[in-house]
Chain A
Amino acid sequence: EPEVTQTPSHQVTQMGQEVILRCVPISNHLYFYWYRQILGQKVEFLVSFYNNEISEKSEIFDDQFSVERPDGSNFTLKIRSTKLEDSAMYFCASSDGGGPQETQYFGPGTRLLVL
């Protein structure tokens, strides 16, 4: 069964450094998402992406964050200058169609630790 994959599984970085989290969505999916879960808190939506554009973003997704689909398979989340509070598990997801009834398929997550 096709799965969403994410790399790396763990990343440790220094405050102020740039990080890029990578995701390979399911191959025929067209809609892509990033979520994060700070330890002990809820999974929170960050951004959705379709047709090379951001379709929706949360208030968390400020100018420090960006997303890109650099080629036909990868979907990346870049944090330009990491802060301590960016430490979290970051989940990528993808779906075949768009809209509120679509099932989103999640990757295993990247645990980011900012020191």
Chain B
Amino acid sequence: AQSVSQHNHHVILSEAASLELGCNYSYGGTVNLFWYVQYPGQHLQLLLKYFSGDPLVKGIKGFEAEFIKSKFSFNLRKPSVQWSDTAEYFCAATLAGTYKYIFGTGTRLKVLA
């Protein structure tokens, strides 16, 4: 079955550290990939998405992600995190011909001031 994996469940960083959160998907066909963020007490918000073109995607709040087809990966990066980036981050995928998002387990990021 198609799935999305996020191997880092909890990440703790100090402010100004660089961030990379892993996301891998298991599907050989066309996929569309999303990163969502959920700040404490808030709803899921889209950070960025990829469905074609330049594999390096830039999103809001200084985040970017790189689609590497050969590695089935779509890792999220930010060069310098801030305390306000403390949140849970979800990777999701959709497949051709379907509406549903397939979510990873989420990664809880805590940034220490």
Contact = CB atoms under 8 A, between A and B. Distances in A.
Contacts of A3: 43
Interface of B: 32, 34, 36, 42-46, 49, 51, 90, 92, 94-106
A91 B43 CA distance: 9
Given A56-B98, A101-B32, A106 B103 contact: no
A45 B101 contact: yes
B98 A109 contact: no
A9 to B, nearest CB: 10
Contacts of B99: 31, 33, 48, 55-56, 98-100, 102
Contacts of A33: 99-100
B43 A109 contact: yes
B51 A101 contact: yes
Nearest to A56: B99
Contacts of A56: 98-100
A107 B101 contact: no
Contacts of B100: 33, 45, 48, 56, 58
Nearest to B45: A106
Top-4 shortest CB links A-B: A100-B94, A45-B100, A106-B44, A43-B103
A42 B100 CA distance: 14
Nearest to A55: B99
Interface string A35-73: 100000111110010000001101000000000000000
B103 A4 contact: no
Interface string A96-115: 00111111111111000000
A100 B98 contact: yes
A4 B101 contact: no
Contacts of A99: 99
Contacts of B105: 41-42
A48 B46 CA distance: 19
B43 A108 contact: yes
